[in-house]
Each structure stands twice: as C-alpha cells, then as structure tokens.
Amino acid sequence: MKKNVLLVLIIILSLSFLYGCSSNDEVVLNVYNWGDYIDESVLDDFTNETGIKINYETYPTNEDMLVKLTQGGSNYDVVFPSDYMIEKMKKEGMLSKLDKSLIPNLENIDENFSNLEFDKGYEYSVPYFWGTVGILYNKNMVDDKVDSWDILWDEKYKDQILMMDSQRDTIMVAQKKLGYSMNSKNVEELEKAKELLIAQKPLVLAYVGDNVKDMMIQGEAALAVVWSGEAYGVMSEHEEFGFALPKEGSNYWFDNIVIPKDAKNKEAAHKFINFLLDPEIGFRNTDYVGYSTPNKKTFEMLDDEVKARKGAYPSDELLENFEVFLDPGDFIEEYNRVWTEFKAAN
Amino acid sequence: MVNKYIKRIYTIAIFLFLYAPIILLIIFSFNKSKSLSSWDGFSLKWYIELFNDKHIMKSLYYTLLCAVLSSIIATIIGTFAAFGIFNMKKIQRKIILNLNNLPLLNPDIVTGISLMLLFAFLSRYKLRLGFLTMLIAHITFNIPYVILSVLPKLKQMNKDIYLAAMDLGATPFYAFKKIVFPEILPGIITGMLIAFTMSVDDFVISYFTTGNGVSNLSITIYSMTRRGIKPTINALSTILFTVVLSLLLVVNKRSKSIKDLT
C-alpha cells in the first residue's frame, strides 16, 4: 500500500516538475527545422554567446510543418520552409517581414539569390541551403559526355535510366529539354512535354523515389535524375560516379529561414538568423549537411575539391537557365491531368 | 520423417521472415560507410556518434519517460475501469465496451488531430503543447488496450472467492487487493507491456500533440527521411533490441525458477 502511494507521489512530482520547466521567464527561442539539417553544436554556441536558450524541434516535410504552424498550441520563432512553401505562406500572410538592419550578415549572401521569384529582395526570407537537380551517371557504363537532358532519350541506354517518381520534377525534365519554362501555364507546352515523356517510357528502367541511390550504387542503372545533395553523397563514397547539370537548365530549390507572423521572440529570432549567416557558422553547417551554401564567404572557406563541384556550384551563365518551382495555382489541375495520362500510357 | 523435416523448415522460415530485417539492421549498424545497403567494413563510429548526438539522446529520454509514465498511469486507470465494467449490468457493459473499442478502431490520424484541436482550444488557458500534452494523449490511447487485456482475466476468475472474502469481513478494496489483483496480474502485466510498446511506437498522435522542442524518437527518425536515415538509428535500434531481449530472458528465467520452486 505504501509503495502505491509513493508511486503516485513520484508521478505527480515529476509531472509538476516538467510542467514547471515550461513556464519560466527567460527568453527561449523555438526553432523548427528539417531533421538532421544543422550541426547541433552551433545551437550551443548561440546560447553561450547570447544567453538565449533554444528549443529545437524537427519536421519531415513542408506540409507537416505547415499543419503544426497553423494549428496553434505551440509557437515557433524560426522556421526553414522551402521555396514554394514560402510563396504559399506569404500569400496567406503567415510570415513576418524581416528587419534587415538586424541582419548585417545578409551581405554575405550571393547576389544571385537576392531576387528569387518567391521572395524578391529578402523581404520575408533568407537563403539557408540550396541545391540543384541533375544527372548522376556511372562512368563505367556511360562513355558519352553528359551535359544535356538529351542523353535520357538515347536508345543506347535503354533500361538503364532512372527517373523520379515525382510529378513536377519529372515534367520539369521534359519542359526544360523542350526549352520551356518549368512553371509554364501553357496547355500546348504541357501536352508536348507529356508526349516526350511517353516516348521516353520504353527506355526507362523505373520511376523511383528514395531507393535511387541504392539502385545506382548496385549498378542496376547507368543514369539517374537526382538532387545535387544526394549525388555528392553517393560520389563521396563511390568514385565511379559523376554528376552533371544539363545545359538546357534545370530546377534549383531553396530552403530559406523565415520568422512566422505570430512568433513571440522576433528580436531573438533576428539574432539567430544573423548568427546562422556568419561565415564560420555557415561553414560548420555546410560541412555537416553537405548541400550548397548561399553564403559567399562560407564558400571561400570550403575545400578546393568541394568548390570545384560544378553540379553543386554551377557557373553563373549555366544558372541563367535555372528556375525555382512556383505555385501554379488552379493550373495545377492541368499538371495533375498530364501526369495521370502519362502514367497510364503504355 | 519427411513430415518432421517440413515442420522444421517451416519453423525456420517463419523465424527468418520475422528476424531477417532486425539482423540486417544490426549488421549495418557496424557498417563503416553511411550506406544502408553495401558493406564497407567494420566500425563502431555510429555508436560513438549516437552518444554524441544530443538531439537523438534527448528524444530517447522523452520517449522512455513518456512510455513508462503513460503505461503505468494507463494501467492503473485501465485496471480499475475494467473491474468497474466487469461488475456492470449486461447492457451497460456492452455499451461501455463498445465505446472502449471505438478509439482502437479509430485511425490514429483522427485521434491525433482531434487531440491537437482539443489542446489548441485549451491553449487559451495557458496549456502549451509539449511533454504534458503528449503524455495525456498517450495515456488516452493506452487505456483501451489495458482494459481489453484485463477483462478476460476477470471473466476467468471465480467471482465467488471475491464474494466469500467480503462475507468474511474484508473491505471491497482489501478483497480486490488480496483476491482479485493476484488473479488478474498476468492480464495487467500484458496490458502494461502493450501500452508501453504502443507508446514507444507511436508517431502520428505524438506528432500532432507535442511541441515546444519536445519530440520522441519516432518523430526524430521520421523527420530525418529527407536527408536519409543515418546508421546511428541502426545503432540505437540495436541497443534497444538487445536491452529488450535481455529483459525478456531475465523475466523468463525468473518466472521459470519460481515455477520450479512451487
């Protein structure tokens, strides 16, 4: 009997202790980031430097993040959505305008990224990481030069090609090959892209998701459309692979840092953003995550081998043909239709 | 003779089917490279990295704390509830049991969203999403499992012994403690174990009911999917698996020696 009372007491005590923890007055910054997307020692350094504590939480997708953000009950001060999600959140008035005077390190960011379609002039967001989409190829199996989407339509590589099982990413390949914008709202252009993808179908081994890396490493295919970050992850451990960006252009994506409208500690949030844009801190994060940094000074600090990665840091002239995905609004119905028809075609 | 062979092969096949994924997971926790499919040599680096990863260790702490607390609390509430339901009239019992089954059949996502909406509504009374809300959610979805595993044991019990104890002057609580409780203990333990595993396992409900920096292992692991699951997770799973396995062995051995004594 005594034991039971003791047990209940312990439970009540530990509960009240936990509850007590969450209700103190010091500044606590709630940071909501993608999983495994920061060198976590950076967070401690920020606390040591400024005395601001960080509550760090992670999410798996933009959509999951949006749900938690809109439902209330918890409060986030710094979030890292991707390009199209920023566009959407901006439209819905969920973001708070940045006070650029509080972010002097903004000057470290590459000017190429100051006018991105979804947020011109860093009004609501600052780039954190970015990347591209290109072709990962096995040098032992491919002897042609890889510099164009055309190679994915080459009969020679029948059943050795992997495409993404993802609507807009795959339609993008056909659109870019045809020289169209990947945000096209022209039905005729979309139809042509569809025909092209259907024509490619017999050559493609599979339309894949996450298993693309393993299939390439095991030598099941010679060419695959992949994200730059994944490509260099594979290449750092397997020498037989190469990664190239097509000259027709491709998609580049961004994960930017934003402050939600109802954030409680906006001043601390600005401090944290400025801290992340510091060259040294940026270097540690880039070293850990391995994606492309938008920070010019951080880029200078990278190893020469990393700097030379044309696929992760393309030349300015190549970048001219690159685009960010934009929200097509109601026109998404057309994309859905084209994708379904392509999937159903034989 | 042939029959025996087939039996043996069948058993081996079943166990292989059940344990092959876990064995593979354990092997790759010792892999040198990040790959989860090709072997590049032995190394312990993922174990070292695991213990240095504050985020994962913190999630582990919240996971275990939440699982232990929620299974204990749910077991206490559930056991008394089961005893109450057992003593009800037949129609009443049927209604309550059906109500009890509803949360089990309800998809997790519905439970998760509705709890989140409830907590969001309560947030105007200073309730913030965090460990407490996650714990409450876990207790909520654990209680039906405990009730369902305790009730059959109550039905098996001879009710007359309980009544006899009261005839001889025991208070209801004393009779429950001395007569009913030992009878239904196996059911209680089963219920608690189920509750514990359900709590460790849960992603959907936890995701929607937690906040403010508190996340359990399933949330942390799932949020890694974009960048690829790291072998540190294999290392962690290997440790958890060994701990559970040795616990089971110890428990089995103890109950065996107790049986031998009696």
CB contact under 8 A, A59 and B223: yes
- Specify whether A73 is located in the same domain as A89: yes
Side chain identity at residue A323, one-letter code: E
CB contact under 8 A, B224 and A35: yes
Residues A230-272: tens digit of each pLDDT: 888 888 888 889 999 998 889 889 999 999 998 889 999 999 9
- Specify whether A116 is located in the same domain as A143: no
Query: Chains A, B: CB contacts under 8 A, how many?
Result: 108
* pLDDT at res. B143: 93
Reported as type and span, the H/E element at residue A256 is strand A252-258
Q: Would B32 be classed as within a structural domain?
A: no
Q: Which domain holds residue B101?
A: 53-229
Please tell me the distance from the alpha carbon of residue A320 to that of residue A247, in angstroms, as a whole number: 10
CB contact under 8 A, B132 and A15: yes
Stretch B165-174: mean pLDDT:
87
- Specify whether A199 is located in the same domain as A333: yes
Give B261's contacts (C-beta < 8 A, 6+ positions apart). none
DSSP state of B177: I
Q: Would B90 be classed as within a structural domain?
A: yes
Please tell me the distance from the alpha carbon of residue A274 to that of residue A254, in angstroms, as a whole number: 18
On chain A, the residues whose CB falls within 8 A of the CB of B109 are none
DSSP state of A306: H
* pLDDT at res. B255: 67
Residues B57-95: tens digit of each pLDDT: 888 899 999 999 999 999 999 999 998 898 888 898 899
Side chain identity at residue B4, one-letter code: K
Q: What is the CATH number of the domain that holds B116?
A: 1.10.3720.10
What was the ipTM of the complex prediction? 0.75
* pLDDT at res. B65: 92
On chain A, the residues whose CB falls within 8 A of the CB of B223 are 34-36, 58-60
Task: Band the pLDDT of A14: cuts 50, 70, 90.
Answer: low
CA dihedral over A58, A61, A64, A68, signed as positive or negative: positive
Q: Are B218 and B206 in contact (CB under 8 A)?
A: yes
Minimal C-alpha gap between B4 and chain A (Å): 40
Q: Would A56 be classed as within a structural domain?
A: yes
Residues A175-211: tens digit of each pLDDT: 999 989 888 888 889 899 998 999 899 899 989 887 8
Q: Are B131 and B214 in contact (CB under 8 A)?
A: yes
DSSP string, A44-57: HHHHHHH--EEEEE
Flag whether pLDDT at A20 surpasses 50.
no
Stretch A152-167: mean pLDDT:
89
Q: Are B86 and B151 in contact (CB under 8 A)?
A: yes
Q: Would B259 be classed as within a structural domain?
A: no
Give B34's contacts (C-beta < 8 A, 6+ positions apart). A233, A237, B228, B230, B231
Q: Would B11 be classed as within a structural domain?
A: no
Ranges A272-281, A314-323, B130-139: which has the least confidence: A314-323
Cα torsion at B159, B161, B163, B169 (round to 10°)?
Answer: -160
DSSP string, B56-91: HHHHHHHHHHHHHHHHHHHHHHHHHHHHHHHTS-HH
Determine the residue among A10, A71, A216 to mutate to test chain B binding: the one whose Cβ has the most chain B Cβ atoms within 10 Å: A71
On chain A, the residues whose CB falls within 8 A of the CB of B117 are 71
B222 contacts chain A (CB < 8 A): yes
Please tell me the distance from the alpha carbon of residue B148 to that of residue B195, in angstroms, as a whole number: 11
* pLDDT at res. A258: 94
CA dihedral over A107, A108, A114, A119, signed as positive or negative: negative
Give A249's contacts (C-beta < 8 A, 6+ positions apart). A176, A318, A320, A321, A322, A323
Residues of A with CB under 8 A from a CB of B: 1, 7, 11, 14-15, 18-19, 22-23, 30, 34-37, 40, 54-61, 64, 67-68, 71-75, 210, 213-214, 217-218, 229-230, 233, 237, 289
Minimal C-alpha gap between A192 and chain B (Å): 31
Determine the residue among A10, A11, A15, A22 to mutate to test chain B binding: the one whose Cβ has the most chain B Cβ atoms within 10 Å: A22
CB contact under 8 A, B227 and A73: no
Residues B204-262: tens digit of each pLDDT: 899 888 888 888 888 888 888 777 778 888 898 898 888 888 878 877 776 666 666 55
- Specify whether A223 is located in the same domain as A96: no
- A123: buried, middle or exposed (CB in 10 Å: 19+, 13-18, 0-12)? exposed
Q: Would A12 be classed as within a structural domain?
A: no
DSSP string, A181-244: -TT---HHHHHHHHHHHHHHGGGEEEEESTTHHHHHHTTS-SEEEEEHHHHHHHHTT-TTEEEE
Left (φ > 0), alpha (ψ -120 to 50) or beta: where does A134 sit?
beta
Count other Cβ atoms within 10 Å, centred on residue B161. 13
* pLDDT at res. A96: 92
- Specify whether A141 is located in the same domain as A117: no
On chain B, the residues whose CB falls within 8 A of the CB of A57 are 211-215
B228 contacts chain A (CB < 8 A): yes
* pLDDT at res. A2: 57
* pLDDT at res. B77: 94
Ranges A46-50, A258-262, A311-315: which has the least confidence: A311-315
CA nearest B82: which of B62, B96, B65?
A: B96
Q: Would A33 be classed as within a structural domain?
A: yes
- Specify whether A333 is located in the same domain as A212: yes
Stretch B191-212: mean pLDDT:
87
Q: Would B204 be classed as within a structural domain?
A: yes
* pLDDT at res. B225: 76
Q: How does strand A252-258 pair with strand A125-138? A: antiparallel
Q: How far is CA B106 from CA A211, B99, B147, in A?
A: 32, 11, 17
CB contact under 8 A, B225 and A233: no
Q: Would B147 be classed as within a structural domain?
A: yes
- Specify whether A198 is located in the same domain as A57: no
Length of chain B: 262
- Specify whether A45 is located in the same domain as A82: yes
Side chain identity at residue B156, one-letter code: Q
Domain count, chain A: 2
* pLDDT at res. A4: 65
* pLDDT at res. A275: 93
Q: Would A138 be classed as within a structural domain?
A: yes
Q: What is the CATH number of the domain that holds A224?
A: 3.40.190.10
Q: Which domain holds residue A332?
A: 131-252+323-344
* pLDDT at res. A294: 92
Length of chain A: 346
* pLDDT at res. A313: 86
* pLDDT at res. A97: 92
Q: Would A282 be classed as within a structural domain?
A: yes
On chain A, the residues whose CB falls within 8 A of the CB of B228 are 210, 213, 230, 233
Q: Would B238 be classed as within a structural domain?
A: no
Measured in degrees and rounded to the nearest 5, phi and psi for residue A242 equal: -130, 160
* pLDDT at res. B69: 93
Count other Cβ atoms within 10 Å, centred on residue A103. 21
* CB nearest to B33's CB, from A54, A218, A237: A237
B33 contacts chain A (CB < 8 A): yes
Q: Would A6 be classed as within a structural domain?
A: no
Domain count, chain B: 1
- Specify whether A125 is located in the same domain as A135: no
Which three-class secondary structure string do you get for B104-160? HHCCHHHHHHHHHHHHHHHHHHCCCCCHHHHHHHHHHHHHHHHHHHHHHHHHHCCHH
Reported as type and span, the H/E element at residue B17 is helix B2-28
On chain A, the residues whose CB falls within 8 A of the CB of B225 are 35, 60, 210
Flag whether pLDDT at B170 surpasses 70.
yes
Residues B14-61: tens digit of each pLDDT: 999 999 989 988 888 888 877 777 777 888 888 888 888 888 888 889
Q: Would B45 be classed as within a structural domain?
A: no
- Specify whether A139 is located in the same domain as A39: no
On chain B, the residues whose CB falls within 8 A of the CB of A35 are 220, 222-227
- Specify whether A289 is located in the same domain as A234: no
- Specify whether A100 is located in the same domain as A115: yes
